[in-house]
Amino acid sequence: MKRFCLVAVLALALPSAAHLAAQAPAPKAGAAKGAPAKAAGGARTVEITGGDDMKFSVTEITAKPGETIRIQLKNVGTLPKMAMAHNVVVLKPTTKLVEFNGAAAQARDTNFVPPAMKTEVVAATALAGPGETVDVTFKVPAAAGSYPFMCTFPGHFTAGMKGTLVVK
């Protein structure tokens, strides 16, 4: 019995050790390249306001590939949260926006971020009611491109509550 257990432990341990060894060079190369940017603890903050007019105050954000940024959204409106809340959801360059927006409208239980399309989401804030501020800190994708963002509260994207995160 003892011998069997030892064999089992070895069998479990060996593949993971090999796995670690194989992976070791990759993080090293990445650290050398990205070290200066990662050293800072405070991410650059992009402040956006949105109100009852269903417009973002900032519709274009520029960031470097792999940069860590914080998007902060303040709802400066006064209408009740049930009727008028806002968020910022950053999507992929390839996301079908009308389709995503349609699915989002059905996803009240998950703050209008559709679980079935979660792989499209680069970053998302919570919903902000009147006077509330929400934020999300995330690492901008390494791939340059135009990443659309939108408010997924029903009707707001259609009303023009959207923008672009330009990664370059």
**Considering only residues 73, 113, 136, 161, which one is a binding residue for Cu ion as defined by CB under 5 A?**
161
Compute the C-alpha angle 48/84/108, nearest 5°.
105
* For Cu ion, the closer CB: 88 or 140: 88
Give the count of alpha carbons within 13 A of 42, CB side only. Answer: 3
Residue 120 to residue 77: CA distance in whole angstroms: 28
Q: Using CB under 5 A, which of the segments 2-10, 32-40, 142-150, 156-164 binds Cu ion?
A: 156-164
Choosing from 147, 149, 153, 157, the residue that interacts with Cu ion (CB under 5 A) is 153
- Between CA 122 and CA 164 the distance in angstroms is 12
Sequence-ordered list of residues with C-beta below 8 angstroms from that of 127, at least 6 positions apart, any chain: 81, 85, 86, 87, 111, 112, 134, 153
Q: Which residues pair with 145 in a beta bridge?
A: 167
Sole binder of Cu ion in the list 63, 122, 151, 167 (CB under 5 A): 151
The count of residues interacting with Cu ion (CB under 5 A) is: 5
Residue 158 in 3-state DSSP?
coil
Reference 49, options 26, 74, 30; nearest CA is 74
Does position 86 interact with Cu ion (CB under 5 A)? The reply is yes
Can residue 56 be called a binding residue for Cu ion (CB under 5 A)? no
Nearer residue to Cu ion within complex by CB, 103 or 161: 161
Q: Which is nearer to Cu ion, 74 or 156 (CB)?
A: 156
Q: Which is nearer to Cu ion, 61 or 161 (CB)?
A: 161
- Please report whether residue 88 would count as binding Cu ion according to CB under 5 A: no
Closest separation in Å from C-beta 148 to Cu ion: 15
Segment interacting with Cu ion (CB under 5 A) among 5-13, 57-65, 83-91, 107-115: 83-91
Total Cβ atoms within 10 A of residue 94: 9
Footprint on this chain of Cu ion (rule: CB under 5 A): 86, 151, 153, 156, 161
